[in-house]
């Protein structure tokens, strides 16, 4: 039988109140406190902090604090990827951000989703759908990327956009 965390990572319905999942959320919040207080550190030291929590951090990848995420361990950044301040990533499943992608301030990337059936939703179960952002993408300030979206290489997402479906290269 799969644990709730295994279900979450597989994109299946899971119970977010599970103690193991809650422990991971707390660990991420403690890490965010450290990371968001790191403005005085060098870029290299901040990159070391990112590598403590994120699944993959490419050479030269950077996130300007403050930054918020659910877990962090589902986020992969390609070489030279840049996220400006106040970005939020709800990473219940994989979020992949390609090399040289630039993400403006206040962008939200959401993988968390909820059942469409009201009875299932009332039960408190949720699930996730991955987000895949290609290389050399530019996402303008305040854009919202919704669950299950794929954005192709070299695409431009305008400031304030709500992206609900695939954007081709």
Q: What is the pLDDT of residues 122-142, one digit of tens each?
A: 998 999 999 999 999 999 999
68 catalytically annotated: no
Distances (CA, A) of 130 to 91, 114, 160: 8, 14, 21
Is the pLDDT assigned to residue 31 strictly greater than 90?
A: yes
Tokens 């919040």 sit at which residue?
29
Tokens 């669950």 sit at which residue?
147
One CATH from 3.40.30.10, 3.40.50.300, 3.40.50.970, 2.160.10.10 for 4-163:
2.160.10.10
Count other Cβ atoms within 10 Å, centred on residue 169: 12
Taking the C-alpha atoms of residue 49 and residue 108, their distance in angstroms, rounded to an integer, is 21
Tell me the β-bridge partners of 69. Answer: 89
Catalytic residue, from 29, 51, 114, 166: name it.
Answer: 114
């Amino acid at each position: 039988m799969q644990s709730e965390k295994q279900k979450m990572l597989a994109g299946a319905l899971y119970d977010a109140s599970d103690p193991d999942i809650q422990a991971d959320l707390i660990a991420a919040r403690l890490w965010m406190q450290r990371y968001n207080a790191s403005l005085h550190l060098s870029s290299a030291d901040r990159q070391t902090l990112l590598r403590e929590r994120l699944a993959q951090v490419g050479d030269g990848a950077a996130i300007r604090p403050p930054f918020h995420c659910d877990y962090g361990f589902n986020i992969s950044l390609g070489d030279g990827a840049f996220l400006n301040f106040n970005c939020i990533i709800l990473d219940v499943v994989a979020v992949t951000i390609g090399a040289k992608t630039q993400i403006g301030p206040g962008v939200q990337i959401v993988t968390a989703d909820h059942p469409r059936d009201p009875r299932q939703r009332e039960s408190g179960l949720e699930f996730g759908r991955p987000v895949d952002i290609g290389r050399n993408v530019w996402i303008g300030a305040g854009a919202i990327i919704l669950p299950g979206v794929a954005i192709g290489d070299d695409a431009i997402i305008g400031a304030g956009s709500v992206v609900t479906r695939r954007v081709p290269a």
